[in-house]
Structure 1
Amino acid sequence: MFARLTERPSLGRGLMRAMIGLAYLIIFAPVAMIVATSFFSQQIISFPPAGLTWHWYVNAWDNPEFLRGLITSLQVALLAAVVGVPIGTAAALAIVRGEFWGRNAISTLLLAPLAVPGVVAGAGLYMFYVLAENVLDRDIKATTQGLVAAHILLAIPWTVRLVVASLQGLDRAAEEAAANLGAGPFTVFRRITLPMMRPGIVAAAMFSFIQSFENLDISLLLVGPGRITLPVAMLNYLEFRIDPTLAAVATVQILIVGVLMVVTDRFVKLSRVV
């Protein structure tokens, strides 16, 4: 009887570990398949591969559209994070610390884009840009400025969500102590509040950059001629060719995002916020 009782916890732990391992396998199997496919030598993918090669990475590098798309995606994602994160951080601080009428409604409005499908959001922004062009008599759609503005709208909801979560878990005792010792509101914010908000802000910047860098739905409807992002360049390539070149480009994307997450987690533990 005693042996049965002592065996059950180990059996439960083993089953739990097996389920966790299965979950990780389901999550990472597609990623591993993409990376492996990028090294297949044959143009039409088949198993087992006839050989391994770097040719598809060279082919992607020689394609000017991929290089232009990568540069554009990096520029747009960086601008979206630089502009959107401060705006979202200020909004999150007002929602959590402020006391004003309609605070919950504003919070819901700012988080609503997270629940809207990307295609719907892109179509809505496109129609809004068309109406704005008629009123302002200037080009907005198919411009870099219009694309960056749309990606800023992607960054703000993620920033509000993550920074609000970070602020709600903060202990205000240190802020109150600093205020009691004579520190002004700006000094308290700069020396106490802002450092405590850093994990949420860094996580928001990372997620905003990634969302913008990999976005296809909105970018597809708003890019202009000769100024396409990397996901749009990949879709254009797929329209005329089917080979592992796209797997090579996707592997580079995975590498960029992975390095970004590892570096970010090195300075700010994302598990505390996300």
Structure 2
Amino acid sequence: MTVTRLEIRPRYEGANVGTWIGFKHLNYLVEEAVLEHLRRSGIRATDLYHDHGLCVDLVDIDTRILSALRIDDLATAEVTVAEPGTLTFTVVIRPNADPGAPKAVSAKVKVSLRHDPRGGAGEIPAELRPYTVARLGEQDKSVQVPDGADPLDVLTGGRNAFAWKWRIPYFYCHFTERMQMSGYLRIMEEVVDLFLADRGVSVKRLLDEQGWIPAVPHSRITLLDEALMEEELYTVLTVEDVFKRLTYTSRMDCYVLRDGLLVPTATGRITHGYAELSGRSEWGLVSFDDRLSAALSGASR
């Protein structure tokens, strides 16, 4: 099957401010659409695991948010094979069933089938072998931690960055032990929240004082290696670019510490702007004021 169309509705949990659905839950819709496409194509995650020990893993998700979705929108998702002979897909989500309606979300997703010997022992079908891997990711260069040094200092030294260490719980994982893509989406959202609070411009502060809410036009996450349940994840957010006081782009890098080396497990970028909260209407970006600009540049520290 090369194209799948389905109706899809945002989850209530994603309406954190007003009735708008946040970027994380829009990415969840993209993930749900891809999984449904695989089901209709005869590649069900349950059967793959129990019959052949194959785990369906999203390893790259690149999403552009073009307009807002709200709690009660019954959207339509269209999933298309992006490159024949691959498990790479494009996903378009529109706010209603009209195929001519403007796009709300446009994404590109790559899937890998990770073999797990603890799953089913059946032979892997020949048609699935090209997509099967023994380990996820193509790891970048590891970072050496000098004796006695704090890994957080090593990762942020001399950069406009914020770092955070956190223990990976089981509920951010799947297939028994590995951090999954949706877990990294949650980490991306949380590290931005912690960064803004650290710089004195927390989400609540700007909401209370100026009626501003963060808006995300673009996000991307790529898995580089596997992070395991109960390992400590070191997450770094680095501000890379501020564009005309309207948006800023940050890079997220995630590592686990193994034998004195910080091993990268995921990387990504997220672009933020700010919108003024105002009823039902579509939001538009506001210009950063001096306080926010100074916080993003690191000048206020």
Mark the structure with the bigger radius of gyration.
1
Q: TM above 0.5, one fold?
A: no
The TM-score range, normalised by the shorter chain, is under 0.3
TM-score normalised per structure 2:
0.25
Structure with the bigger percentage of strand: 2
Identify, as 1 or 2, the structure richer in helix. Answer: 1
Using CA pairs below 8 Å that are at least 6 residues apart, which structure has the higher relative contact order? Answer: 1
